[in-house]
């Protein structure tokens, strides 16, 4: 049923009329709190992918939750965000009706018919006047992959636009690019079981205790007395709990990793069989000759002896070594090559494809991995290639969309889209379930770009995010807990989410909104078979046939639930159906030669070095396990709000604080070439002299960060820019 089949209805559409099939509870939530049944859903925050058990009343409304004990990911555990996952649904800041900016500049409530008419009319006008490259969408890793795929296919094949990106670009683009170049496909090889099966666990640029607390619990379950090595400029909570902390200089990581390779190759602590499955080792052997520990110690910020010791630890014969990283590596001006330096170490020591090993990226958002495969932005849906004619013909056939609509043109990346806005080439943005006016690097720049946009559409569950408040049109979206679909977690595991609450007012699932837009745009026929998220899942499943991520053996959502989630690949008649599987056990990769490719390059200079005016290097990262990104949701939970400081604070070491007369808790001003903020000083031994740390969740923080990007992945370099600090009270 489309909105336009309801045109004869008198007056605006009500929630009852547009309630989608499968949503629960059209009546009000009963007051009694005794659950009568349960269902399960994957948590909607991070890519750990914990499964939650939702306790339901007789109308199917969730009244409480608990972590699922039998799920192989979280084994009965959840972090504070998971425990409080229902809180943000009932916020008074929910978007409940479409809002349209009137000629006085005020957002006014409207109905869906008007909203969709405005959406299609304005975007068609812009397309007619300025062409198919004049509009872009910016999306998310927070919605199920069926919705992402629908958005990407609708936008490119149905509406005929080109440019689109997701906030995966801020998070995992580096890991995805590195895997693609090294393995021939975006294929994280490991399983979470590897945390428990390693002898040496290297956490580099990853604060698991805070950012992925359940994965840290998996480390704690390891019964092999593992050596836990944390490589991080900051003495994070994880570093403090590790057996070894190497407090390197910010961005000393790439030189350090080359030096570790130098030691291993020099000493012959290598795995010949694994190396025989690679290409490029001779060039790499030659290249790392300049990276002796003595040559690198100053750049890395640790001693030559510490580098030699690290090299021995990660190459000991018979020991299982796993490497794990997150944003400390990915959000860098040279992140792709740094990830590949980790991959290279695993390849030359044979730590891949076996229990307790692997170069394993830990993803940020709950469905970042689904975004990477299905969002139809950087790759053609299902991990295919826009430039490959055979792939385009396959997609045309599987989706039943005429071949001439399957574009071969790749998209601009996120930063390039914003540059195109600055240049006046992109005139309209459609922002879906993300908040770039807070989260994008050097965020003031984006605010200034707003004036260049003729039309800004924001589709979100809240009407109060920084991005929603500046929209011309706000489309109210249902949240996690109010719709169904699938997420893919960091170990390639598909899991389902379920509707357990009714979306407020006239808010609709993103899936439903895309269906309505398809009809309103006039391309609904292309998506006639996308009747529900599960129907879309089956279409997308069939698209993956013969791809590395082939999931054609999955029958449907029930099958996924019965198996406690299913990792890809899972082809028809799978030879291995075990619960936890890893890739590359046979030493065969997805490149044309079936060999892994060793990539490397020399470390580059910092894009913005400290100087007399801005003498400190600013690090940013997650503050607490109770905060999520821009806090759009976590700030709506009264419980979570009590678990973190309300206002921004900055970590500074005692030597620097003493020099500048800064006392603990005094108010300080931090400035960069782009902006300034005030914060409370926290004098702590966690940062090196000359470094500061700010949690990323506060809206002011990205006013300071510097617009520089990894040249391969176009991921922003959030982690190191130069700033000054001074006392202001």
Judged by beta carbon, residue 297 or residue 362, the one nearer ligand SF4 is 362
Judged by beta carbon, residue 45 or residue 430, the one nearer ligand SF4 is 45
For ligand SF4, the binding residues in 217-246 under the rule CB under 6 A are none
How far apart are CB 700 and ligand SF4 at their closest, in Å? Answer: 24
- Phi, psi (deg, nearest 5) at residue 431: -105, 120
Whole-number Å distance between alpha carbons of 684 and 650: 9
Whole-number Å distance between alpha carbons of 720 and 593: 38
The edge-to-edge listing of strands for the beta sheet with 227-231 is: 244-246, 227-231, 200-204, 321-325, 358-361
Q: Which stretch binds ligand SF4 (CB under 6 A): 43-51, 198-206, 262-270, 644-652?
A: 43-51
- CA nearest to 175, candidates 377, 354, 6, 332: 332
How far apart are CB 364 and ligand SF4 at their closest, in Å? Answer: 10
DSSP 3-state percent helix, strand, coil across the chain (nearest 5)? 35, 20, 50
How far apart are CB 400 and ligand SF4 at their closest, in Å? Answer: 35
Judged by beta carbon, residue 43 or residue 107, the one nearer ligand SF4 is 43
Beta-bridged to residue 620, according to DSSP, are 694
Judged by beta carbon, residue 50 or residue 520, the one nearer ligand SF4 is 50
Binding mask 56-75 for ligand SF4 (x = CB under 6 A): ------------------x-
Whole-number Å distance between alpha carbons of 60 and 343: 46
How far apart are CB 67 and ligand SF4 at their closest, in Å? Answer: 7
Whole-number Å distance between alpha carbons of 567 and 142: 19
How far apart are CB 582 and ligand SF4 at their closest, in Å? Answer: 21
How far apart are CB 95 and ligand SF4 at their closest, in Å? Answer: 23
Exactly one of 3, 18, 50, 345 binds ligand SF4 (CB under 6 A); that residue is: 50
- CA nearest to 89, candidates 366, 483, 367: 483
Largest CA distance in the chain: 80
Contact 40, 561 (CB under 8 A): yes
How far apart are CB 238 and ligand SF4 at their closest, in Å? Answer: 14
| Residue 154 binds to ligand SF4 (criterion: CB under 6 A) | no
Exactly one of 18, 40, 41, 43 binds ligand SF4 (CB under 6 A); that residue is: 43
How far apart are CB 489 and ligand SF4 at their closest, in Å? Answer: 8
Beta-bridged to residue 279, according to DSSP, are 597
Judged by beta carbon, residue 79 or residue 687, the one nearer ligand SF4 is 79
* Element (DSSP H or E) covering residue 486: strand 485-488
How far apart are CB 47 and ligand SF4 at their closest, in Å? Answer: 7
Judged by beta carbon, residue 184 or residue 213, the one nearer ligand SF4 is 213
Q: At what angle do helices 335-349 and 173-183 cross, to 10 degrees?
A: 40
For ligand SF4, the binding residues in 493-522 under the rule CB under 6 A are none
The CA angle 473-406-542, to the nearest 5 degrees, is: 100
Q: Which stretch binds ligand SF4 (CB under 6 A): 46-54, 316-324, 517-525, 555-563?
A: 46-54
459: which 2 tokens? 């589709």
Whole-number Å distance between alpha carbons of 104 and 330: 43
Residue 85 DSSP one-character state: T
- E strands within 433-479? 455-460, 473-476
CA distances to 390, 686, 693 from 235, rounded to whole Å, are: 50, 4, 11
Judged by beta carbon, residue 43 or residue 477, the one nearer ligand SF4 is 43
The CA angle 499-376-552, to the nearest 5 degrees, is: 65
Q: Which stretch binds ligand SF4 (CB under 6 A): 44-52, 345-353, 461-469, 703-711?
A: 44-52
The distance from CA 165 to its chain's CA centroid, rounded to whole angstroms, is 12
| Residue 214 binds to ligand SF4 (criterion: CB under 6 A) | yes
Q: Which stretch binds ligand SF4 (CB under 6 A): 45-53, 121-129, 296-304, 677-685?
A: 45-53
Half-sphere exposure of 448 (CA within 13 A, CB side): 9
Q: Which stretch binds ligand SF4 (CB under 6 A): 39-47, 127-135, 393-401, 527-535?
A: 39-47
Whole-number Å distance between alpha carbons of 194 and 198: 6
Judged by beta carbon, residue 46 or residue 431, the one nearer ligand SF4 is 46
How far apart are CB 84 and ligand SF4 at their closest, in Å? Answer: 9
How far apart are CB 555 and ligand SF4 at their closest, in Å? Answer: 25
Whole-number Å distance between alpha carbons of 175 and 328: 12
287: which 2 tokens? 């290249």
- Phi, psi (deg, nearest 5) at residue 616: -105, 150
- CA nearest to 81, candidates 200, 214, 244: 214
How far apart are CB 77 and ligand SF4 at their closest, in Å? Answer: 8
How far apart are CB 512 and ligand SF4 at their closest, in Å? Answer: 25
Binding mask 80-119 for ligand SF4 (x = CB under 6 A): -xx-------------------------------------
Judged by beta carbon, residue 55 or residue 597, the one nearer ligand SF4 is 55
> In this chain, which residue has its C-beta nearest to ligand SF4?
82
Q: Which stretch binds ligand SF4 (CB under 6 A): 40-48, 506-514, 604-612, 643-651?
A: 40-48
How far apart are CB 211 and ligand SF4 at their closest, in Å? Answer: 9
Q: Which region, left, alpha or beta, applies to residue 376 given φ > 0 means left and ψ of -120 to 50 means alpha?
A: left
For ligand SF4, the binding residues in 412-441 under the rule CB under 6 A are none
Judged by beta carbon, residue 211 or residue 475, the one nearer ligand SF4 is 211
CA distances to 466, 660, 670, 681, 693 from 648, rounded to whole Å, are: 17, 19, 11, 9, 11
For 450-472, letters b (16+ CB in 10 Å) and e give eebbbbbbbbbbbbebbbbebbb
Q: How many residues bind ligand SF4 (CB under 6 A)?
A: 14
Exactly one of 46, 209, 401, 640 binds ligand SF4 (CB under 6 A); that residue is: 46
Judged by beta carbon, residue 83 or residue 530, the one nearer ligand SF4 is 83
How far apart are CB 565 and ligand SF4 at their closest, in Å? Answer: 12
Q: Which stretch binds ligand SF4 (CB under 6 A): 77-85, 232-240, 433-441, 637-645?
A: 77-85
Q: At what angle do helices 145-153 and 510-521 cross, to 10 degrees?
A: 20
Contact 621, 330 (CB under 8 A): no
How far apart are CB 697 and ligand SF4 at their closest, in Å? Answer: 14
| Residue 79 binds to ligand SF4 (criterion: CB under 6 A) | yes
Whole-number Å distance between alpha carbons of 502 and 60: 9
Exactly one of 3, 63, 78, 310 binds ligand SF4 (CB under 6 A); that residue is: 78
CA distances to 46, 49, 343, 428, 510 from 489, rounded to whole Å, are: 8, 5, 20, 32, 20
542: which 2 tokens? 């069939």
Binding mask 184-213 for ligand SF4 (x = CB under 6 A): ----------------------------xx
Binding site for ligand SF4 (CB under 6 A): 43, 45-46, 48-50, 74, 78-79, 81-82, 212-214
């Amino acid at each position: 049923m489309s909105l336009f089949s309801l045109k004869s209805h008198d007056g605006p559409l009500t929630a009852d009329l547009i309630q989608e099939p499968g949503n629960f509870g059209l009546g009000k939530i009963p007051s009694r709190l005794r659950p009568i049944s349960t269902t399960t859903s994957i948590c909607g925050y991070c890519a750990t992918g914990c499964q939650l058990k939702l306790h339901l009343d007789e109308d199917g409304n969730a009244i409480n939750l608990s972590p699922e004990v039998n799920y192989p990911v979280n084994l009965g555990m959840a972090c504070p965000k998971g425990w409080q996952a229902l809180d943000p649904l009932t916020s008074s800041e929910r978007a409940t009706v479409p809002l349209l900016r009137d000629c006085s500049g005020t957002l006014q409530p409207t109905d869906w018919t008007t909203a969709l008419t405005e959406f299609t009319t304005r975007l068609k006008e812009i397309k007619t006047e300025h062409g198919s490259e004049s509009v872009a969408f910016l999306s998310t890793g927070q919605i199920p992959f069926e919705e992402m795929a629908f958005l990407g296919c609708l936008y490119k094949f149905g509406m005929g636009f080109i440019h689109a990106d997701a906030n995966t670009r801020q998070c995992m683009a580096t890991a995805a690019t590195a895997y693609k170049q090294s393995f021939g496909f975006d294929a994280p090889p490991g399983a979470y079981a590897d945390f428990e099966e390693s002898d040496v666990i290297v956490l580099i640029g990853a604060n698991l205790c805070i950012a992925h607390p359940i994965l840290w619990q998996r480390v704690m379950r390891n019964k092999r007395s593992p050596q836990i090595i944390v490589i991080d400029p900051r003495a994070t909570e994880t570093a403090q709990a590790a057996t070894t902390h190497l407090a390197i200089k910010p961005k000393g990581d790439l030189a350090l990793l080359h030096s570790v390779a130098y030691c291993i190759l020099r000493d012959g602590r290598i795995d010949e069989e694994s190396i025989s499955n690679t290409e490029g080792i001779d060039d790499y052997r030659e290249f790392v000759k300049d990276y002796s520990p003595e040559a690198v110690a100053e750049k890395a910020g640790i001693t030559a002896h510490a580098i030699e010791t690290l090299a021995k630890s990660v190459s000991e014969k018979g020991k299982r070594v796993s490497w794990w990283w997150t944003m400390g590596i990915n959000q860098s001006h040279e992140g792709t090559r740094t990830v590949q330096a980790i991959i290279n170490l695993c390849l030359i020591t044979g730590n891949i494809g076996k229990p307790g090993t692997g170069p394993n990226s830990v993803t940020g958002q709950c469905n970042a991995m689904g975004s990477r495969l299905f969002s139809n932005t950087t790759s053609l849906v299902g991990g295919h290639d826009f430039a490959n004619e055979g792939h385009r013909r396959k997609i045309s056939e599987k989706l039943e969309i005429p071949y001439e609509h399957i574009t071969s043109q790749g998209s601009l990346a996120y930063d390039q889209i914003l540059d195109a806005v600055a240049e006046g080439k992109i005139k309209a943005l459609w922002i879906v379930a993300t908040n770039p006016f807070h989260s994008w690097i050097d965020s003031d720049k984006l605010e200034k770009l707003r004036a260049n946009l003729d039309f800004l559409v924001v589709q979100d569950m809240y009407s109060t995010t920084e991005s929603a408040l500046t929209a011309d049109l706000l489309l109210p979206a249902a949240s996690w807990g109010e719709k169904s679909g699938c997420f893919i977690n960091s170990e390639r595991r598909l899991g389902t989410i379920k509707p357990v609450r009714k979306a407020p007012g006239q808010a609709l699932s993103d899936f439903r909104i895309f269906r309505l837009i398809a009809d309103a745009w006039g391309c609904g026929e292309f998506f006639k078979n996308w009747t529900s998220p599960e129907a879309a899942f089956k279409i997308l499943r069939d698209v993956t046939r013969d791809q590395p991520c082939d999931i054609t053996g999955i029958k449907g959502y029930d099958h996924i639930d019965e198996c406690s989630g299913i990792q890809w690949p899972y082809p028809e008649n799978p030879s291995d159906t075990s619960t936890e599987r890893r890739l590359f056990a046979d030493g065969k990769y997805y490149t044309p030669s079936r060999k892994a490719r060793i990539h490397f390059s020399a470390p580059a200079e910092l894009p913005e070095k400290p100087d007399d005016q801005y003498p400190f290097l600013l690090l940013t990262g997650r503050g607490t396990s109770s905060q999520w990104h821009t806090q759009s949701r976590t700030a709506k939970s009264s419980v979570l709000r009590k678990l973190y400081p309300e206002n921004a604070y900055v970590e500074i070491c005692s030597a620097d604080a003493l020099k500048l007369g800064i006392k603990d808790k005094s108010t300080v001003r931090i400035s960069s070439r782009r902006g300034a903020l005030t914060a409370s000083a926290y004098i702590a031994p966690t940062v090196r002299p000359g470094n500061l740390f700010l949690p990323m969740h506060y809206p002011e923080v990205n006013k300071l960060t510097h617009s520089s990007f990894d040249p391969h992945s176009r991921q922003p370099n959030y982690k190191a820019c130069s700033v000054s600090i001074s006392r202001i009270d």
